[in-house]
Amino acid sequence: MARESLSYTRELAKNAHEGMLSFLLQRLTGLGLVAYLILHIFSLSSALGGEQKFRDSLSMYNSPLFHVLEWALLAAVVFHMFNGLRIVAVDWFGATRYQRMLFWVAIAASAVVVLGSIPFFFMWR
Amino acid sequence: MVEKSRAPGLSWYMQRLTALLLVIGLVGHFIVLHYTKLYQDKTSLAADSTAERFGSSPLLWLLFDGMLLIAAMYHAMNGVYNIASDYSPSPTFRRGLAWLLWVVGLAGSVVGLLLLGRFLAMGN
């Protein structure tokens, strides 16, 4: 696995283009989100032990550290979503010609949502 | 040896179909839980708003959250399988991994559905 990740970075350095960057970011965010999904269901399962346990476990997440992690999670979800829509557009709607431009559209759209969410995650709570 | 190219299988379509369902599901999930409810209900986080949400329209949220749960589980497990496939694993490894992913995916789905049942009860 370590050698593989090294070959990914080497590939990216040698052959830097949007397709490689898109592939790498989609894979990394995807793996992160799988790990998160499992943890998410596991942590919510405290609710099966009663409403009070659910409240206690939720209040634990109401801290500055978890707010930052939540925001990082948003970034991973939003990029994976916009870049995934680009993949569907290429596979199903014949957008292959525009795939390079669409990658930057996905990056820009992600940046707008993630930066625009700063007040929600850090200022208004 | 280079594998012969084949027409995409069912899981290829399903990965994209669940992707589109997740766009609807996760955008809704984030708007409802993170952008709206959470900020009206800062102290106890989502507990009261979850109860209130399931109390006001139980069927809608059961279907919405159930769809999100199943689509996310499928997309995640199938995604891991696809990544592993890129490394050309042996047939034994493939079979073992497929079993493991089905077990994890089904277990996660069952826990998730039990949780939705609990949220319904909290709403009553």
Interface check for A66 against chain B (CB to CB < 8 A): the answer is no
pLDDT tens digits, B49-106: 788 888 889 999 999 999 999 999 999 999 999 999 999 899 999 999 999 999 999 9
Which of B69, B37, B34 shows the shortest CA–CA distance to B53? B37
CB-facing half-sphere around the CA of B35: CA atoms within 13 A: 13
Interface check for A81 against chain B (CB to CB < 8 A): the answer is yes
Contact A66, A57 (CB under 8 A): no
Looking at residue A48, the DSSP 8-state letter turns out to be G
Give the residue numbers spanning the domain of B19.
Answer: 11-123
pLDDT tens digits, B21-46: 999 999 999 888 777 755 665 544 56
Four-way CATH pick for A2-123: 3.40.190.10, 1.20.1300.10, 1.20.1090.10, 1.20.1270.360: 1.20.1300.10
Q: Which residues on B lie below 8 Å from A109 (Cβ)?
A: none
CB contact under 8 A, A59 and B45: yes
CB contact under 8 A, B26 and A81: yes
CB contact under 8 A, A81 and B23: yes
**Per-residue pLDDT at A101:** 93
Is position B6 within any domain? Answer: no
Nearest-neighbour CA in chain A from B19: distance (Å): 7
pTM, full prediction: 0.89
Q: Any idea which of A33-37, A86-90, A119-123, B102-106 has the lowest mean pLDDT?
A: A119-123
Question: How many domains would you assign to chain B?
Answer: 1
The domain that contains B46 carries what CATH number?
1.20.1300
Distance of CA B21 to the CA centre of its chain: 10
Is position B5 within any domain? Answer: no
Q: Is A50 left (phi over 0), alpha (psi -120 to 50) or beta?
A: left
- ipTM here: 0.89
CB proximity list for A100: less than 8 A, separation 6 or greater? A17, A18, A19
Assess whether pLDDT exceeds 70 at residue A12.
yes
CB contact under 8 A, A125 and B72: no
Distance of CA B50 to the CA centre of its chain: 18
Is position B101 within any domain? Answer: yes
Rounded CA-CA distance B33/A21 in Å is: 31
Is position B1 within any domain? Answer: no
Which of A84, A46, A78, A70 shows the shortest CA–CA distance to A122? A70
Rounded CA-CA distance B42/A119 in Å is: 14
CB contact under 8 A, B20 and A54: no
Is position B96 within any domain? Answer: yes
Is position B3 within any domain? Answer: no
Residues 21-50 of chain A with CB under 8 A from chain B are 27, 30-31, 33-34, 37-38, 41-42, 44-45, 47-48
Assign B71 to helix, strand or coil: helix
Is position B4 within any domain? Answer: no
**pLDDT class of A54 with cuts at 50, 70, 90:** confident
Amino acid identity of residue B46, one-letter, is A
